[in-house]
């Protein structure tokens, strides 16, 4: 049907009293034409839930403020929702009842599969389910990540919006809510984690209403940790941290980064951290193991073809039912309430103002605080920003292309990188096209005992490269990743693929889904919204946004904005977009990092800039250290042109004298790790044992590196005579990496020398390290 036919049929069904059919037809009509005044009006008349009706009539007035019928319906609606208890809690917004959702001709393809005919409206040609679950987490973690959490030359500017704008911008009006008639209460308790050495920490819970528009006696507990200032007279305004995600744990993150990120900021202020509602130590925790398990099974290809939707639907409904049994109102686990909780945490702890510190998704909560509760915000530090008005699920892939272009150009400008990888861009496109034509299986190790088999196509490869560029430890490896995959070595690829998967251990998926549906999915214009995502959010039953909730935040509050030049998730363009609404803002563009550059601990420069900003937020901080940061030094394969110095070493454990490479670090059991880059497998080992050569070879075939073993039995290549000892030389591979082994008998025991390396470095290291170590190794007599 055409849009007009859908509209006419919907109105006819409504007049005939068939509200269910009318709703379905009218929903299709407003999806096709979001500016259909008549469609939204009749849809509102067909709905029974008060908040759904209000949403529809508000949409009518957005299109035509003079629509008298919409105004009349809103007046009737508001008059009927007031009772002796105050304002009635709104019902969940359900666009379609679960049983009424049509799946005719619905095809959901496996994540990142190439060559499908389904329309692609999302980044990187992902299918809708993957983008919503995996892609969204990829987009906003932080940092969590861990992290998740991740610039030219500042374009010659510090406060780039300091000129050419009005001296003041109108502050965005806060969303109107009833005046709170509750008092947030802090109750001290035990810290359920190992306190970092030297830290003074107070832990506890702040009790707040789950639904501030509903029953205020129905409460949740927000877990709080206060890292007290190391100064004798701390300032009254602490740093209040707002975590990324959505759904990432904050308190656990703070413990893991205490030494590098938090401790340097404690000289004059407390540092306050809280787990957002539904997350971590907060009560309740909206864990959703069913959904995470389904997603991992999907990546492994364990879901039958064509049945992805039903599996995800079952997981979603199972998770929702479990959380409902806990009494959770899923519509309340959204960013506006996170901002309100943050305000309540401050007040309950006795602070009057704070300096916000938000990373990634946490910057969204910070913007809501700046708009809705400006009286408690002294300043804001915003890292890897997401402007409130930005629809992350509707971003075109241009930002990825921009970051890749930076990578290609930076490699060309680095003589060593350019020599090792002479045409990086061509190699990237070669791999991308080849993997789309012929995907390959890889084994991704998540923990020491957990791994999964994943099929990699061009889009998965692209995502792995982008993840490598998010994480500071792996940015320098990106060119090597591309070339090694081209040449058949997937070791760095699998390392990068593990990063987003590991985030499931620290993400509350229930909170993630509620926030994503409310903040992003229901904020999208319907002609751009993928039906699969929309139906999933409808099953979750979370209410839509209030009118004006996602309007840009304009604020006079001073803000320091960090961005990483290699960050494609929250690219530098977002920083400049947000700064356009914050006239008293300063941008620190970190040239050698990706996501969450202020919290990586790679350099003390971000900390120095933060401390300078906090001294006087109304004065531009000194960004000299930012401008002095050197470009990324890319990792290139070792070649024979660079000699390796060897130093004498005595291994008392094995009664052996030998040589080891200068700068390689002992890791125990006679092994030395090169540690040239993150995840580097290169090691040399020297051991001695009372076993035969054949017994040792057999043992290594299955026990090398605990459970790696060998890809195939070791082949004996020949012998080498040195220092009166006759060595047997073997060669094999483990996880595709060359492994060289030498054995000799001495004093009724067997000596072993073993080298593991990469294919593109094997020959050079064999001659520069392996053979010299053999020639120098002798038993102590």
Q: Is the pLDDT of residue 219 over 60?
A: yes
Q: Which of 57-66, 138-147, 165-174, 188-197 has the lowest mean pLDDT?
A: 138-147
Q: Is the pLDDT of residue 86 over 80?
A: no
Average pLDDT, the chain: 83
Long-range contacts of range 179-186, CB-CB < 8 Å, 24 or more positions apart?
180/212, 180/216, 181/216, 182/208, 182/209, 182/216, 184/208, 184/344, 184/345, 184/347, 184/348, 185/348, 186/224, 186/345, 186/348, 186/349
pLDDT tens per residue across span 162-180: 222 222 333 344 444 555 6
Question: Which of residues 155 and 738 earns the better pLDDT score?
Answer: 738
Backbone φ, ψ for residue 133 (5° rounding):
-90, -65
Residue tagged 């005046």 (tokens): 179
360 vs 574: CA distance, rounded Å: 11
Check if the beta carbon of residue 207 is closer than 8 Å to that of residue 182: no
Q: Is the pLDDT of residue 457 over 70?
A: yes
Q: For residue 666, what pLDDT band results from cuts at 50, 70 and 90?
A: very high
Question: Which of residues 11 and 407 earns the better pLDDT score?
Answer: 407
Integer angstrom CA distances of residue 364 from 102, 367, 577, 585, 718? 34, 5, 13, 16, 64
Check if the beta carbon of residue 593 is closer than 8 Å to that of residue 561: no
- Among residues 263, 150, 155, 201, the alpha carbon closest in space to that of 604 is found at 263
The domains found in the chain, sorted by start residue, are 3-80 (1.25.40.10), 152-286+328-389+507-636 (3.40.50.1820), 398-505 (no CATH), 646-779 (3.40.1000.10)
pLDDT tens per residue across span 101-114: 222 222 222 222 22
Q: Which of 404-408, 445-449, 571-575, 603-607 has the lowest mean pLDDT?
A: 445-449
94 vs 74: CA distance, rounded Å: 19
- pLDDT given at position 447: 64
Q: Is the pLDDT of residue 122 over 80?
A: no
Q: What percent of the chain has pLDDT over 70?
A: 84
Check if the beta carbon of residue 247 is closer than 8 Å to that of residue 279: yes
- Among residues 669, 714, 708, the alpha carbon closest in space to that of 693 is found at 714
Q: Which pair of tokens denotes residue 8?
A: 């006419």
- pLDDT given at position 705: 78
Q: What is the pTM of this model?
A: 0.76
- pLDDT given at position 529: 53
pLDDT tens per residue across span 627-661: 999 999 999 999 988 899 999 999 999 999 999 99
Mean pLDDT of 460-479: 92
Question: Which of residues 588 and 708 earns the better pLDDT score?
Answer: 588
57 vs 69: CA distance, rounded Å: 9
At 317 the three-state DSSP class reads helix
Q: For residue 368, what pLDDT band results from cuts at 50, 70 and 90?
A: very high
User: Terminal CA-to-CA distance of the chain, rounded, Å?
Assistant: 92
Question: Which of residues 52 and 776 earns the better pLDDT score?
Answer: 776
734 vs 740: CA distance, rounded Å: 10
Question: Which of residues 762 and 706 earns the better pLDDT score?
Answer: 762
Q: Is the pLDDT of residue 47 over 90?
A: no
pLDDT tens per residue across span 506-545: 789 999 999 999 988 877 665 555 567 778 888 888 888 8
């Amino acid at each position: 049907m055409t849009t007009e036919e859908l509209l006419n049929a919907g109105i006819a069904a409504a007049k005939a009293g068939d509200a269910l059919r009318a709703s379905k037809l009218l929903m299709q009509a407003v999806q096709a034409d979001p500016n259909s005044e008549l469609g939204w009006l009749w849809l509102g008349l067909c709905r029974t839930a008060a908040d759904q009706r209000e949403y529809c009539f508000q949409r009518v007035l957005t299109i035509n403020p003079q629509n008298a019928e919409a105004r009349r319906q809103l007046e009737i609606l508001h008059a009927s929702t007031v009772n002796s208890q105050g304002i009635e809690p709104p019902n969940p917004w359900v666009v379609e009842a679960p049983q009424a959702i049509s799946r005719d001709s619905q095809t959901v393809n496996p994540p990142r599969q190439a060559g499908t005919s389904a329309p692609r409206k999302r980044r990187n040609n992902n299918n809708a389910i993957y983008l919503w679950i995996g892609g969204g987490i990829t987009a906003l973690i932080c940092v969590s990540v861990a992290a998740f959490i991740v610039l030219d030359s500042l374009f010659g500017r510090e406060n780039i919006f300091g000129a050419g704008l009005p001296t003041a911008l109108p502050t965005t009006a806060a969303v109107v809510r009833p005046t709170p008639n509750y008092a947030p209460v802090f109750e001290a308790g035990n810290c359920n984690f190992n306190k970092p050495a030297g830290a003074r920490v107070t832990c506890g819970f702040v009790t707040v209403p789950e639904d501030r528009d509903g029953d205020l006696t129905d409460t949740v507990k927000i877990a709080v940790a206060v890292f007290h200032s190391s100064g004798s007279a701390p300032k009254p305004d602490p740093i209040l941290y707002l975590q990324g995600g959505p759904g990432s744990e904050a308190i656990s993150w703070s413990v893991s980064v205490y030494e590098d990120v938090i401790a340097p900021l404690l000289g004059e202020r407390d540092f306050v951290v809280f787990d957002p509602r539904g997350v971590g130590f907060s009560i309740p925790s909206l864990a959703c193991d069913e959904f995470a398990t389904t997603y991992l099974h999907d990546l492994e290809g364990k879901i039958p073809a064509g049945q992805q939707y039903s599996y995800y639907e079952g997981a979603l409904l199972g998770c929702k039912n479990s959380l409902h049994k806990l009494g959770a109102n899923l519509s309340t686990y959204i960013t506006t309430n996170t901002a309100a909780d943050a305000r309540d945490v401050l007040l309950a702890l006795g602070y009057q103002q704070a300096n916000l510190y938000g990373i990634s998704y946490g910057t969204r909560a910070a913007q809501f605080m700046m708009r809705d509760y400006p009286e408690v915000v002294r300043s804001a530090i915003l890292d890897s920003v997401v402007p409130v008005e930005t629809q992350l699920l509707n971003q075109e892939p241009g930002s990825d292309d921009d970051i890749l272009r930076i990578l290609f150009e930076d490699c060309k400008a680095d003589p060593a990188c350019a020599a090792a990888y002479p045409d990086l861009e061509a190699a990237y496109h070669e791999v991308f096209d080849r993997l789309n034509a012929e995907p390959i299986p890889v084994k991704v190790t998540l923990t020491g005992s957990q791994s999964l088999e994943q099929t990699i196509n061009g889009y998965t490869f692209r995502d792995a490269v982008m993840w490598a560029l998010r994480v500071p430890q792996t940015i320098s490896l990106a060119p090597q990743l591309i070339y090694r995959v081209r040449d058949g070595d997937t070791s760095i690829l699998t390392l990068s693929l593990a990063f987003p998967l590991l985030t499931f251990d620290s993400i509350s998926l229930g909170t993630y889904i509620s926030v994503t549906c409310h903040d992003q999915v229901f904020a999208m214009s319907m002609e751009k919204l993928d039906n699969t995502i929309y139906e999933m959010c409808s099953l979750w039953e979370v209410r839509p946004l209030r009118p004006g909730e996602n309007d840009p935040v304009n604020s006079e509050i001073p803000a320091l904005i960090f961005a990483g030049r290699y960050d494609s998730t929250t690219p530098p363009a977002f920083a400049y977009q947000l700064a356009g609404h914050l006239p008293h803002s300063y941008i620190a563009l970190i040239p050698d990092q990706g996501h969450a550059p202020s919290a990586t601990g790679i350099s003390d420069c971000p900390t120095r800039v933060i401390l300078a900003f906090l001294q006087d937020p109304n004065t531009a901080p000194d960004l000299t250290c930012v401008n002095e940061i050197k470009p990324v030094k890319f990792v290139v394969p070792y070649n024979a042109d660079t000699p390796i110095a060897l130093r004498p070493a005595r291994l008392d454990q094995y009664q052996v004298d030998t040589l080891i490479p200068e700068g390689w670090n002992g890791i125990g059991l006679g092994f030395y790790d090169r540690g040239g880059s993150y995840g580097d497998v290169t090691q040399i080992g020297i051991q001695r044992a009372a076993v035969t050569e054949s017994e040792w070879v057999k043992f290594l075939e299955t026990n090398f590196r605990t459970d790696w073993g060998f890809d195939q039995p070791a082949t004996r290549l020949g012998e080498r005579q040195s220092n009166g000892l006759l060595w047997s030389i073997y060669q094999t591979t483990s996880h595709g990496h060359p492994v060289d082994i030498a054995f000799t008998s001495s004093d009724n025991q067997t000596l072993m020398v073993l080298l593991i390396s990469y294919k593109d470095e094997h020959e050079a290291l064999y001659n520069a390290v392996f053979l010299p170590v053999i020639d120098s190794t002798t038993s102590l007599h």
